[in-house]
Amino acid sequence: DVKVTQSSRYLVKRTGEKVFLECVQDMDHENMFWYRQDPGLGLRLIYFSYDVKMKEKGDIPEGYSVSREKKERFSLILESASTNQTSMYLCASKLQGAGEVNEQFFGPGTRLTVL
């Protein structure tokens, strides 16, 4: 079974702090994603990565950055946390596939509260 793990289930930070959210997958997937999930809204893509050291902006990249130094690890960084970044953050990974569509596998999520 694919396993996607996230470093924390719950995190409380103060405005202006630098925040690191870590995600690790154990199935050698090429693609990794960071989403945020807020009530009444669909999952919104922050950043994704096709391969090591590759990153692409999603729909809402402002205020975030990412790092993918190793294939299994994808980190989300909030350079200076703000209260509007209080949210559930979900990491996902997916096999790239050749001419096929594959599902995304999600981590358990990190509920971040910024005070």
Q: Per-residue contact track with other proteins, 27 to 56, x per CB under 8 A?
A: -------------xxxxxx-----------
Between CA 55 and CA 49 the distance in angstroms is 4
| Assigned token pair, 23 | 């995600």
Q: Which stretch binds other proteins (CB under 8 A): 22-30, 64-72, 79-87, 98-106?
A: 98-106
Q: Which is nearer to other proteins, 14 or 57 (CB)?
A: 57
Q: Is residue 77 at the binding interface for other proteins, with CB under 8 A as the rule?
A: no
* Contact of 58 with 44, CB cutoff 8 Å: yes
Q: How far is the CB of 101 from other proteins (least distance, A)?
A: 6
Q: Which residues make Cβ contacts (< 8 Å) with residue 10, sequence separation at least 6?
A: 110, 111, 113
